[in-house]
Amino acid sequence: MMENFLAFPELIFQAWQDSIFEQNAVQVSVLRADLIHPWIQGNKWYKLQYFIKQVIQDNKDGFVSIGGPFSNHLIAIAFAAKNMNRKAIFFIRGGREEWAQNPAVQQMETWGAVLIPVSRTEFRILDEEKIRYTWKELNNFIWVPMGGSSFFAVSFVEEWARKIAEQIEFDVLVLPVATAGTVAGFASGLPFVKKIEAIEVLQSNGFLQRDMGLMLEKAQRENFISPKWQLDYHFGGYAKTNVELSGFCKRLFVEKGFPVEPIYSGKAFYAVLDLAQKGYFQEKSRILLVHTGGVFPWNMGR
C-alpha cells in the first residue's frame, strides 16, 4: 500500500522533567519527531520531501545516495523506494565483510535496496559527478546527498520550523547536527527572537557551519539565526560512544520514557542535561529539544 510521504505529520510534544532543570529554573520540552514514522523518522521526513516529489514528477527510476551502513538517511530512502515501487541504490562506506551481521543493511536489502561497498578512502571523495561518470545506468535516478542535506530541502524544513513555532512557546531550540541541512532550515524558518543550540554529533572542525552557510546561500536566504555551535558532545566522532553515553541513553529510556540512541539524539539529550547542570541556560528559559529519530530495534541496546 502506497503511503503519503508528502503529508506533514502531526507534531507531538512531551515534557522532560528532571530535578536538574528545576534547580536551574528551566523548562524543557521534547519534540517527538521520532514518532513520525517507524522508518522515516524525524528530520528525514522533511529533508526527503523534495527528492520524493522529483522522483514522482520526473518519473525517475529511483534514488541513488551514499552513507554509512547504519545510516538513518538510507533506511528512510530504502523504505520509501520500496513503497513507491522505485529502486534504491546506495554506495556504502566500508567492505561487505563488515556488514555480515549488520541489521540495518539486512533491513535495507530486505526492502530491495542495492548496496555497493566503497572503501573509506574512496568514500571521502565520492560525489554525484563521480558516480554518474562511472555508472551511466544511473542517469535516470535522482541523486540524494548524504543525510538528505541540500539547499533543495531548506524550504521544507523551514515550513516544519514555522509549524513548530505556531504550536509551542519556547525560547531556545536544541537539535543534533550531522550534515547541517536541518539546522539550516531551522535557522531561516524560526522567528528571530528564538535561539538555536546546534549539538555537533561529530568532529566537524568547522565544516558544518560552512555547509549550513552554503545551503542558505544557494537557497537565497539572507536573513537567518546564527546558531550557537556546541562542540563538546560528539564523544569522539560520528557514531562514537562510550560507557557513560550508552548508560545515559538506557537510563533516559527506563526512567523518563524517551527512547534514544547514542549516535544522534542521545548526544543532544545528554548535552541539554549537562548544559543545564552547568547553569548555561538563562533562568526561566523554555527549551525545546528536537528528537530527530534514529530509534530502530537494533540500536536501542547500544
**Is the entire prediction scored with pTM above 0.75?**
yes
Task: Give mean pLDDT, residues 201-223.
Answer: 95
Residue 1 — pLDDT band, cuts 50, 70, 90? very low
Phi-psi region of 68 (alpha: psi -120 to 50; beta: other; left: phi over 0): beta
Residues 252-271, buried b or exposed e (16+ Cβ, 10 A)?
A: bbeebebbbbbbbbbbbbbb
CATH 3.40.50.1100 applies to domain 13-42+150-291: yes
CATH 3.90.1580.10 applies to domain 44-148: no
Query: What is the residue extent of each domain of the chain?
Result: 13-42+150-291, 44-148
Phi first, then psi: give them for residue 51, nearest 5 degrees: -70, -35
Q: Cell digits for 230?
A: 556546541
13-42+150-291 and 44-148 agree in CATH topology? yes
Q: Which of 38, 41, 63, 67 is nearest to 50 (CA)?
A: 63
CA dihedral 129, 132, 135, 139 (to 10 degrees): 170
**18-32, 50-64, 86-100, 220-234: which range is least confident on average?**
86-100
* 27-66 pLDDT, tens digit each: 999 999 999 999 999 999 999 999 999 999 999 999 999 9
Task: Give mean pLDDT, residues 155-171.
Answer: 97
Q: Output the pLDDT for position 100.
A: 75
Residue 300 — pLDDT band, cuts 50, 70, 90? low
